[in-house]
Amino acid sequence: MSMIPRKDLLDIASLTNEEIEFVLANAVPFKDLFKRSVKKVPTLKGQTVLTLFYEPSTRTRSSFEVAANRLSADVTHFDIESSSVVKGESVLDTVETLESMRVDYIVVRHKQSGIPGFIAKNTRASVINAGDGWHAHPTQALLDAFTLREKFKDLRGARALIVGDIQHSRVARSTSLIFRRLGMHVAYLAPGSIMPRETPPEIPRFGNWDDAFAWKPDVIYLLRVQSERMDEPFFPSASEYHKNYGLTDARVEVLKERGLWLMHPGPVNRGVEITDQGMNYEKSLINQQVENGIAVRMSVLYWLKPGAIES
């Protein structure tokens, strides 16, 4: 059982089961460190982790920064908002600059799918995709899986209902994939206009909560509504979305009765995806997702090997 050293984490699809298992298993001792008040380990001492965010994201960036600090790495921000990208400077030129600076890890977010993979091909640094367009957000998926594994003895057969803008969500894509790789059943609930045209036949698609609840989910995974999408014609208004697809207080009651787990990648739009009362639901795992994000990202940084040859 020797894994091939892996340089990059680009998506869930390219991971072997063994690799998923490795990352999830090693996140456990990293999480335990904090319980034992060990705040910092010297694992990545002297290594440079660079964040390259073409889209701003305080939460994800901070989560990686704290994870890297706890491994004793140095963190540098090289963030380039889309609006200020220097005309004529390609992503490739930026990557060659970073490659020349010999950074060890590049954590990248970009609105265009595939950019992290393109970067990975052009650097010896380990590239971690922190979200690219509609494509993938693999560390979110890994932390989601880790969080559920703390609650289920065996994930096989567990049923997750993913709710919201499936079509445009990299979270939906990556998290669905890892849930299914771990033996779970996945279903989608979304307005027809933002339900993908083609989905795997094993994934049931629902248009309303009654049908979705009848599928008997164990976990409700709400996607974040992107407010900038609210203006688009195929998207209902915030209040209409809430009424039809949000977790209203009445629906929270169903969760309570059945004891279902609740997840959301954050930040929540209160009153849209979920009500205030829903945020206080005792089986909500939202804060545990954030907490586990640190340990899982530590595990990913620990696992990847800068300079490894991709097979």
For the chain, the straight-line distance linking the first and the last C-alpha, in angstroms and rounded, comes to 17
Does residue 36 bind its own copies (CB under 8 A)?
A: no
Structure token digits, residue 36: 């034992």
According to the annotation, is 217 in a ligand binding site? no
Q: Candidates 6, 7, 70, 137: give the one binding its own copies (CB under 8 A).
A: 70
Stretch of 74-82, 163-171, 179-187, 248-256 lying at the interface with its own copies (CB under 8 A): 74-82
According to the annotation, is 267 in a ligand binding site? yes
> Residue 103: left if φ>0, alpha if ψ -120 to 50, beta else—which one?
beta
Mask: binding to its own copies, 279-298, rule CB under 8 A, as x and -? x------xxxxxx-xx----
Amino acid at 271: G
Write out the DSSP string of 206-219.
ESSHHHHHHT--SE
Choose between 88 and 201: whose C-beta lies nearer to its own copies: 88
Does residue 269 bind its own copies (CB under 8 A)?
A: yes
According to the annotation, is 224 in a ligand binding site? yes
Taking the complex as a whole, the smallest distance from the CB of residue 50 to its own copies amounts, in Å, to 8
Q: Give the span between the Cα atoms of 75 and 19, in whole angstroms.
A: 25
Query: What residues contact 231, with CB distance under 8 A and at least 6 apart?
Result: none
Amino acid at 269: N
**Binding to its own copies (CB under 8 A): which residues in 221-240?**
227
Q: How many positions of this chain bind its own copies (CB under 8 A)?
A: 54
Taking the complex as a whole, the smallest distance from the CB of residue 259 to its own copies amounts, in Å, to 22
Q: Candidates 76, 199, 244, 248: give the one binding its own copies (CB under 8 A).
A: 76
Does residue 65 bind its own copies (CB under 8 A)?
A: yes
Taking the complex as a whole, the smallest distance from the CB of residue 179 to its own copies amounts, in Å, to 21
According to the annotation, is 109 in a ligand binding site? yes
> To 5 degrees, how large is the angle CA 101–CA 12–CA 138?
55
Mask: binding to its own copies, 91-130, rule CB under 8 A, as x and -? --xx-xx-xxxxxx--------------------------
Which residues lie near its own copies (CB under 8 A)? 34, 38-40, 45-48, 50, 58-59, 62-63, 65-66, 69-70, 74, 76, 78-80, 86-90, 93-94, 96-97, 99-104, 227, 266-272, 279, 286-291, 293-294
